[in-house]
């Protein structure tokens, strides 16, 4: 069985009062995710900080295979409230990324990033149910004008990730997350036996044609 090793960075004791609680939540997410994904041994580095999603009180990042960073703000009440198992869902999302790193990787092109984020978003729902995340909820009317641009830039490796996924004057906030979620959702709707977990190593090219259907 794969193992999660949790490294708590806590020299200033910001996490002392909640370290056990967070550890339990993260262990649960790893156990649940391991039932669906081909996980391997994974290091999770937990640290305190303010660079989090304010509505969640935490932030996850999987930059390479076998490694996930989790930042938690112990002063943010949303962290301990943990609505809809928010903390567990976040780690499930990042564990899908981590597992994808053991296959094709997160990807260097816009298309690969859209698919990686869409798959991870759908996996969080596969593992824990509930509503999609706020950044996955842009309406179709907002997404529609960007389908052709995403198709044209699909193979681009010098796309601006921050603009596509976090917003700019040209792009609405969360566009890449919602577009990727929509794209993977279309694939799942037409492949009834597919799951985000079973597609963890799928080639991003399998999803590109779905952008043609506006």
* pLDDT 10s digits, 108-131: 999 999 999 999 999 999 999 988
Query: Which pLDDT score is estimated for 212?
Result: 82
Dihedral sign computed on CA atoms, order 198, 139, 177, 126: negative
- Name the residue range of residue 12's domain: 4-101
Same domain, yes or no: 191 and 130: yes
Same domain, yes or no: 117 and 158: yes
Query: Which pLDDT score is estimated for 214?
Result: 58
Same domain, yes or no: 84 and 170: no
First to last CA, the chain: 43
| Half-sphere exposure of residue 206: CA atoms within 13 angstroms, side-chain side | 17
Q: Which is it for strands 42-48 and 4-9: parallel, antiparallel or unpaired?
A: parallel
Q: Which residues of the chain have pLDDT under 70?
A: 213-214
Same domain, yes or no: 207 and 114: yes
Same domain, yes or no: 8 and 96: yes
Of the candidates 126, 128, 114, the one whose C-alpha atom is nearest the C-alpha of residue 181 is 114
Cβ burial of 133 (10 Å; 0-12, 13-18, 19+) is buried
Token output for 120: 């991870």
Rounded CA separation 198/121 (Å): 14
208-213's contacts with Cβ under 8 Å and 24+ in sequence apart are: 208/111, 208/151, 208/154, 210/183, 210/186, 211/147, 211/148, 211/150, 211/151, 211/154, 211/183, 212/151, 213/186
Same domain, yes or no: 25 and 117: no
Partnered with residue 53 across adjacent β-strands are 58
Instruction: Please give the model's pTM, rounded to 2 decimal places.
Output: 0.97
Same domain, yes or no: 32 and 89: yes
Same domain, yes or no: 205 and 115: yes
Total domains in the chain come to: 2
């Amino acid at each position: 069985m794969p193992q999660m090793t949790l490294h708590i960075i806590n020299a200033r004791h910001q996490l002392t009062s909640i370290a056990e609680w967070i550890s339990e939540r993260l262990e649960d997410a790893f156990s649940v995710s391991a039932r669906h994904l081909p996980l391997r041994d994974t290091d999770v580095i937990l640290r305190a900080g303010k660079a989090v999603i304010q509505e969640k009180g935490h932030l996850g990042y999987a930059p390479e295979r076998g490694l996930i960073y989790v930042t938690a703000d112990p002063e943010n009440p949303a962290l301990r409230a943990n609505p809809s198992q928010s903390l567990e869902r976040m780690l499930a999302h990042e564990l899908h990324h981590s597992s994808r790193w053991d296959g094709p990787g997160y990807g260097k092109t816009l298309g690969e990033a859209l698919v990686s984020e869409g798959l991870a978003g759908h996996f969080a729902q596969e593992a824990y149910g509930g509503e999609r995340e706020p950044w996955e909820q842009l309406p179709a009317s907002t997404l529609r004008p960007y389908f052709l641009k995403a198709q044209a830039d699909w193979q681009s490796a010098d796309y601006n990730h921050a603009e596509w996924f976090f917003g700019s004057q040209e792009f609405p906030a969360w566009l890449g997350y919602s577009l990727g979620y929509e794209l993977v959702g279309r694939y799942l709707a037409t492949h009834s036996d597919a799951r985000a977990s079973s597609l963890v190593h799928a080639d991003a090219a399998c999803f590109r044609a779905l952008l043609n259907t506006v």
